[in-house]
Amino acid sequence: MKVLVIGKGGREHALCWKLAQSRGVSALFCAPVNPGIKQVAEPVAIDPCDVAALADFAAANQIDLTVVGPEQPLALGIVDGFESRGLSIFGPSKEAAQLESSKSFAKAVMREAGVPTADFEVFDDADAACHYVRASELPLVVKADGLALGKGVAVCDTGETALAAIDHIMRRGAFGAAGRRVVIEQRLEGEELSFFALCDGVRALPMGSAQDHKAVFDGDRGPNTGGMGAYSPAPIEPAFEARVMREVIEPTLAAMAARGMPFRGVLYAGLMINGGRLDVLEFNARFGDPECEALMMRFDGDLALALKAAVEGRLVNEMLPLSPAAAVSVVLASRGYPASYRSGFPIRGLDDAERMNGVRVFHAGTSLKDGVLMTDGGRVLIVSALADDLPSAISRAYGAASVITFEGMHLRRDIGFRALRRVSGDALEAAQKP
């Protein structure tokens, strides 16, 4: 099987690393690549959003399966473009990808499917949105309707901050066309977690859980980022996983099929848990990042065969074996991220980190200059570790991170802190010592 992966971040590096282990994969390509991906896949110098050029490459090289990593190509309709030419591609159609590319669409689907979610209203007019805020009970969440790289959500404790968010998103155009419409919803309290299901349009299989850490600083302080770290599995019981499948994933899949938009791909539900209450915060139509890195550390099956089966509508339970071990991913970022930051600094210690037992380092924002690995992005590397239990995985991940250096390197020191509180009151401090 010849496989093409689209995208060049840490998520795509993890996917390429796992796909390279699939027995049936005879050739692996990635468009484009970073230095880490280039170690396991052949580079293809095509932009991830150049649908026509990518389809031409897949056809000319007889690619048996294309795997889409980022959300932007899905929103553009890359799956429709490939399928119109008879090319096999993993991911939802443009219509189905609206579960991520349009928050108002996703909320409408949840409402008709009976999926639990916060009460909401949708606005295309900033004045009307402001009027609604003034008449609403606080706190509120204001969300840009379209794709905003994880930065289009404002959690507002006061009316003033909600009004400022509307001004920022709609009037000032902070996110361009993605912010012409906003969804305003009641803020939910509780603990967030990510749940992943592999879908073939009719059937869905659970693919694991994780907990992301979006805020840039320890203790969930500071602005949201694309993700500063994650661990898997999240601390949930099998009965709760079955409940998520029954109350969230399966009704959504049925609603999409009823609309004539069968969902094939990864359905990623962002959940809020509060005691016995379960609500969906949002849907994504692809693997999360950095959750994917942790999930791929735990995935024990043949990824290429599983994704191909999802495309062809023949998923079976045995295709998604997950290790019971714990995986932790810690993001090493550039100082200043997610705002302005500087790049172009040498990275040292990577080889030493990867020689450690149970550790993989995935590249996100790196480049090579005269043979020297350099920083080239906000999120630079994702240090991932697998161990028998969460405290051990955290210890391994932070031990590996401690030997990597570059100017301005920033990382959160508390990845997994909520779960560790359940294990031991002082386990966090002990687990993070190299």
Tell me: pLDDT of 268 over 70.
Answer: yes
Q: Tell me which of 3.40.50.720, 3.30.1490.20, 3.30.70.360, 3.30.1540.20 is the CATH number of domain 119-186.
A: 3.30.1490.20
For residue 55, give the amino acid letter. Answer: A
Tell me how far CA of residue 368 lies from CA of 226, 333, 372, in angstroms. Answer: 23, 17, 5
Write down the pLDDT at residue 99. Answer: 98
Q: Which of 146-150, 212-216, 325-329 has the lowest mean pLDDT?
A: 146-150
Phi-psi region of 416 (alpha: psi -120 to 50; beta: other; left: phi over 0): left
Strands 89-90 and 65-68: parallel
Report how far Cα 375 is from the mean position of its chain's Cα atoms.
Answer: 21
Tell me: pLDDT of 22 over 60.
Answer: yes
Question: What mean pLDDT, rounded, does the chain reach?
Answer: 94
Summarised one tens digit per residue, pLDDT across range 84-115 is: 999 999 999 999 999 999 999 999 999 999 99
Q: How far apart are the first and last CA of the chain?
A: 41
Q: Return the SS3 of 63.
A: coil
Q: What are the extents of the domains in the chain?
A: 2-91, 119-186, 191-319, 326-431
Hey, how many other C-beta atoms are within 10 angstroms of the C-beta on 84?
10
Q: CATH topology of 119-186 equal to that of 191-319? A: no
With CA atoms as reference, report the closest residue to 198 among 253, 235, 239, 150: 253
Question: How far is residue 241's CA from residue 247's CA, in Å, rounded to a whole number?
Answer: 10
With CA atoms as reference, report the closest residue to 229 among 282, 283, 324, 294: 294
Question: How far is residue 200's CA from residue 117's CA, in Å, rounded to a whole number?
Answer: 24
Question: How far is residue 278's CA from residue 244's CA, in Å, rounded to a whole number?
Answer: 8
Domain 191-319, CATH homologous superfamily name and number = ATP-grasp fold, B domain (3.30.470.20)
Please report which confidence band the pLDDT of residue 432 belongs to, taking 50, 70 and 90 as the band edges: very low
For domain 2-91, give the fold. Rossmann fold (3.40.50)
Beta bridge partner(s), residue 265: 199
- Angle at Cα 353 formed by Cα 218 and Cα 149, nearest 5°? 45
Handedness of CA 313, 316, 317, 318 (dihedral sign): negative
Instruction: List alpha helices for 114-206, DSSP H.
Output: 126-134, 159-166
Instruction: Let me know: does 209 contact 327? Beta carbons within 8 Å.
Output: no
The mean per-residue pLDDT over the stretch 221-250 comes to: 93
Cis peptide before 32 (omega within 30 of 0): yes
Write down the pLDDT at residue 133. Answer: 96
Write down the pLDDT at residue 396. Answer: 97
Write down the pLDDT at residue 46. Answer: 98
What single DSSP character describes residue 240?
A: H
The mean per-residue pLDDT over the stretch 394-423 comes to: 92
With CA atoms as reference, report the closest residue to 98 among 142, 145, 66: 145
Tell me: pLDDT of 342 over 60.
Answer: yes
Please report which confidence band the pLDDT of residue 422 belongs to, taking 50, 70 and 90 as the band edges: low
With CA atoms as reference, report the closest residue to 101 among 135, 141, 74, 139: 74
Q: Which residue has the tokens 């090579």?
A: 368
The mean per-residue pLDDT over the stretch 178-203 comes to: 95
For residue 10, give the amino acid letter. Answer: G
Tell me: pLDDT of 318 over 90.
Answer: no
The mean per-residue pLDDT over the stretch 216-220 comes to: 95
Q: pTM of the prediction?
A: 0.94
- Angle at Cα 56 formed by Cα 54 and Cα 57, nearest 5°? 65
The mean per-residue pLDDT over the stretch 269-294 comes to: 95
For domain 326-431, give the fold. Glycinamide Ribonucleotide Synthetase; Chain A, domain 4 (3.90.600)
